[in-house]
């Protein structure tokens, strides 16, 4: 599941492969932008903003969001792609690499001076140069009745947390995802933990919250009915959302979290 750490790492790898080079191929396979051709333009940089990826090329920005299944992958020269070509939504190449965006949830092309229209709604980015813990706290506290599990996922409060981290953060802080923000003791510690977890994982391919890099890497995410690593109680599972349409799965330990 792509979260802020995945997008950060993708941006870093894409930036290393493409920045400062001329595009030799630009193939956008999304109807609205199918005629866009940025080949011949120089890639200025590739950056992440929360879970959004921004590829700045010439005077334009290709903006993408990975959603549930998306990924950007890099291939060298004629190397065979690791996923089927019909899933490709964007293909960019220079003389050495081909970057392919598979199953992207969103893909837009805008002028770079207008990219704010796509990302300005985001709160401070946990992995960004603009990280501001005080502002993230203030954003969260604006709605004290809201469940912490929803508030942490709301990218307008702070950007980068997805479904895996919200479950793990709530476990590590000993709070149920349904606890109202106003009832969370030491909310600043929850924000600080979020920052530390994303940073600890930003350069590795396996996401780890337990400290064990080899196995049992997550405390509760996806572990329905399995024994809690701390207390042995079966892990609970349910859904949480602002409405029926936005329900997402979540997990918790009924004993360790209250």
Catalytically annotated residues: 2-3, 51, 248
Give the range of 53-61, 118-126, 198-206, 220-228 binding Zn ion by CB under 5 A: 220-228
> What does residue 182 show for φ and ψ, rounded to 5 degrees?
-65, -20
Q: How far is residue 153's CA from residue 162's CA, in Å, rounded to a whole number?
A: 6
Q: How far is residue 217's CA from residue 195's CA, in Å, rounded to a whole number?
A: 18
SS (H, E, C) 2-23: CCHHHHHHHHHHHHHHHCCCEC
Asked if 256 is part of the footprint of Zn ion (rule: CB under 5 A), the reply reads yes
What is the phi/psi pair of residue 42, to 5°?
A: -95, 135
Least distance CB 256 / Zn ion (angstroms): 3
In the complex, minimum distance from the CB of residue 147 to Zn ion, in angstroms, rounded to a whole number: 20
Which of residues 127 and 228 has its CB atom nearest to Zn ion in the complex? 228
User: Is residue 104 part of the contact set for Zn ion (CB under 5 A)?
Assistant: no
Instruction: Give the binding-site size for Zn ion (rule: CB under 5 A).
Output: 7
**Which helix H or strand E contains 47, and what residues bound it?**
strand 43-49
Task: Give the C-alpha separation, 116 to 34, whole Å.
Answer: 22
Residue 237 CB, shortest distance to Zn ion, in Å, is: 14
Of 233 and 246, which CB lies nearer to Zn ion in the complex structure? 233
The encoded tokens of residue 202 equal 């930003």
- The stretch among 89-97, 127-135, 206-214, 223-231 that binds Zn ion (CB under 5 A) is 223-231
User: Residue 196 or residue 255: which is nearer to Zn ion going by CB?
Assistant: 255
Using CB under 5 A as the binding rule, the residues of this chain from 200 to 219 that contact Zn ion are: none
Which of 82, 114, 255, 258 contacts Zn ion by CB under 5 A?
A: 255
Only segment of 16-24, 60-68, 111-119, 247-255 that touches Zn ion (CB under 5 A) = 247-255
User: Rounded to 5 degrees, what are φ and ψ at 221?
Assistant: -55, 125
Q: Smallest distance from the beta carbon of 236 to Zn ion, in angstroms? A: 10
Q: Which range binds Zn ion by CB under 5 A, 49-57, 140-148, 206-214, 233-241? A: 233-241
Say whether residue 226 binds Zn ion (CB under 5 A): no
Asked whether position 230 contacts Zn ion by CB under 5 A, the answer is: yes
What value, to the nearest 5°, has the Cα angle with vertex 31 and ends 58 and 154? Answer: 75
How many Cβ atoms sit within 10 Å of the Cβ of residue 33? 16
Q: What are the DSSP calls for 131-155, one per residue?
A: --HHHHHHHHHT-TTSBHHHHTT-T
| 16 lines the binding site for Zn ion (CB under 5 A) | no
Q: What does the binding site for Zn ion look like in residue numbers (CB under 5 A)? A: 228, 230-231, 233, 253, 255-256
């Amino acid at each position: 599941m792509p979260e802020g750490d995945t997008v950060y790492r993708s941006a870093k790898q894409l930036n290393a492969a493409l920045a400062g080079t001329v595009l030799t191929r630009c193939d956008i396979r999304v109807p609205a932008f199918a005629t866009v051709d940025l080949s011949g333009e120089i890639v200025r940089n590739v950056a992440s903003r929360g879970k959004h990826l921004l590829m700045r090329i010439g005077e334009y920005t290709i903006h993408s969001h990975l959603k549930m299944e998306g990924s950007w992958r890099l291939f060298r020269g004629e190397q065979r792609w690791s996923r089927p070509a019909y899933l490709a939504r964007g293909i960019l190449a220079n003389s050495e690499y081909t970057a392919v965006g598979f199953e992207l949830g969103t893909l837009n092309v805008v002028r770079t001076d207008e990219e704010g229209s796509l990302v300005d709604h985001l709160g401070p980015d946990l992995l960004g140069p603009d990280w501001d813990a005080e502002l993230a706290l203030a954003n969260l506290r604006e709605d004290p009745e809201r469940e912490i599990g929803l508030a942490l996922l709301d990218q307008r409060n702070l950007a980068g947390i997805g479904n895996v981290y919200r479950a793990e953060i709530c476990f590590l802080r000993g709070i149920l995802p349904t606890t109202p923000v106003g009832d969370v003791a030491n909310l600043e510690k929850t924000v600080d933990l979020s920052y530390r977890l994303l940073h600890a994982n930003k350069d590795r391919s396996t996401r780890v919250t337990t400290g064990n890099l080899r196995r049992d890497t997550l405390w509760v995410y996806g572990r329905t009915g399995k024994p809690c690593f701390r207390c042995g109680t079966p892990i609970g599972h349910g859904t949480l959302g602002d409405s029926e349409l936005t329900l997402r799965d979540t997990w918790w330990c009924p004993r360790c979290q209250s």
